[in-house]
Amino acid sequence: MTAIVGVLNSRAFTIAADSAVTVTGNNGKKVYNRSNKIFTLSKFHPVGIAIYNSADFLGIPLETAIKLYRQKLKEESFGTIEEYKNDFLVFLRSLVPGVSNEVKRDNFYGFCGNTYHPLISSLMVKINQFDQQGLDAAAIDIQYDQFVNEAITEQRTIIDGYNTSNYIQKTYDEFLASHQTQLTEIANYIQGKIVESLPTYVLKQASIDALHDLFYQMINVEWIFEAFSGLVFFGFGESEMYPATCQVLVGALICDVLRIREGDSTKIIPGQVNSNIIPYAQADVTETVLTGVDPNYKYTMKKSIEKSFSDVATGVGPLLADPGQQEAVRNFINGIGNELIQELNDYQFSAITGPLLDILAHMGKEDMAELAESLVNITSIKRKFTSSDSSDESVGGPVDVAVVTKGDGFIWIKRKHYFEMQNNIGFSEKYLKL
């Protein structure tokens, strides 16, 4: 995991990132504190990129991909940060044909595993609670078919509850043709788990078709639930007087098409948006500073208020004889609860968030950089002292800090190196050579 914080006003965009990277293996998790997460996206123009979550793109280190993109970009520039983002995503897609079949296979398994692993868990609970005594083999087989279909239906209900997008515009038949081998292996894996309880069981074709349809419906779930790489683009396009930033989540590869969720841009618009603080990845501590309230506590408080007023409304209603009055009273009480929540939100902004953003609008570059770095450090401290497991200290190590301005470009305030610059003069000499 990662803590990255962007701080921007009309003068500059400042960004700070920790250096922790969590590696998960067969023996558990290990945290290393020397990872690079902030990079220049161009050698010549005021634009940068930061990465979080997975540091690899289909087996390719994102650091390598970024530096290859810089070589391709050379001195070319774009009018907006959005255009830099779009061009970089075109470059990422161009790397897909070179990805090995083994990586593509594992990537697809990881994507589907978010559904078929809980499906198997649910299925095993049903099977283990099933009393087979007194039933013949045919009856048991029929009951197992029902368990399988119930488990699939449970997962389908979950998938159907999510918003959808248009990430992968492929037909069902194209999906099957592209991933037939992996889909067959997944079905065989599920059957293998069932066979541990019933050696004669064979997964029926209708159930296999339902599984395939379940996985097909997953490909356009808007939420990027699978392992993903987070990309943050920031700086100034050629036509932008004020800084801008946008986020992208790069998810699984389905039918050789990437699931990519693009977030909205954040821009400084004097008179409308004069400043902002944007936490990426682990955002709870930054949001606490920005709002004065821990986001988890705020969410719990909001839900508690809504439930309490709803319970009161439900309890008072039946005391009234007139059904019309019952409904009016319920709406009135629930409305009071909503007004209370809104009043608390208004106070939070007027007394805490608003004044902070007003001060930030007039901050100089140095103070903005210090603020961004401090927010990352506070996140690191919280992780260190609120977790009993050192492997959960997912924010830490040296903090890299950069400032991007329209005039001076991309400037490092703090930066770690894995080598001494004075011992590598050739690196400096060749950096700007194309």
Q: For position 283, what pLDDT does the model report?
A: 85
129 or 132: which leads in pLDDT: 129
Q: For position 46, what pLDDT does the model report?
A: 97
Q: Provide the residue type at 51 as one letter.
A: I
pLDDT confidence of 59, banded at 50, 70, 90? very high
Strand partners, 403: 14, 411
Mean pLDDT (whole number) for 80-89: 97
Burial label, 4 (beta-carbon count in 10 A; 0-12, 13-18, 19+): buried
Which phi and psi (to 5°) does residue 380 adopt?
-60, -45
Q: Tens digit of pLDDT for each residue in 322-364?
A: 777 778 888 888 899 999 999 999 999 999 999 999 999 999 9
Q: What is the DSSP string of 222-241?
A: SS--SS-EEEEEEE--TT-S
Residue 301 forms part of a structural domain:
no
Q: Which of 32-46, 191-205, 241-255, 386-400 has the highest mean pLDDT?
A: 241-255
Mean pLDDT (whole number) for 265-273: 94
pLDDT greater than 60 at residue 395: yes
pLDDT greater than 80 at residue 30: no
Residue 168 forms part of a structural domain:
yes
pLDDT greater than 90 at residue 198: no
Q: For position 197, what pLDDT does the model report?
A: 87
**How many C-beta neighbours within 10 Å does residue 285 have?**
23
Residue 12 forms part of a structural domain:
no
Q: Measured on CA atoms in the order 68, 73, 77, 82, is the torsion positive or negative?
A: negative
Mean pLDDT (whole number) for 174-202: 93
Q: How far apart (Å, rounded) are the C-alpha atoms in residues 49 and 413?
A: 16
Residue 430 forms part of a structural domain:
no
pLDDT greater than 60 at residue 387: yes
| Domain span at 151 | 101-218
pLDDT confidence of 1, banded at 50, 70, 90? low
Give me the chain's average pLDDT, please. Answer: 91
Residue 284 forms part of a structural domain:
no
Residue 203 forms part of a structural domain:
yes
pLDDT greater than 60 at residue 316: yes
Q: For position 24, what pLDDT does the model report?
A: 66
Is there a contact between 395 and 234 (Cβ–Cβ < 8 Å)? Answer: no
Residue 142 forms part of a structural domain:
yes
Look up residue 343 and give its two tokens: 């009043």
Residue 32 forms part of a structural domain:
no
Closest alpha carbon to 20 in 376, 401, 385, 411: 376
336 or 397: which leads in pLDDT: 336
Mean pLDDT (whole number) for 261-266: 94
pLDDT greater than 50 at residue 156: yes
Look up residue 323 and give its two tokens: 């059904």
Q: For position 393, what pLDDT does the model report?
A: 62
How many domains is the chain partitioned into structurally? 1
pLDDT confidence of 391, banded at 50, 70, 90? very low
Mean pLDDT (whole number) for 141-152: 93
pLDDT greater than 50 at residue 400: yes
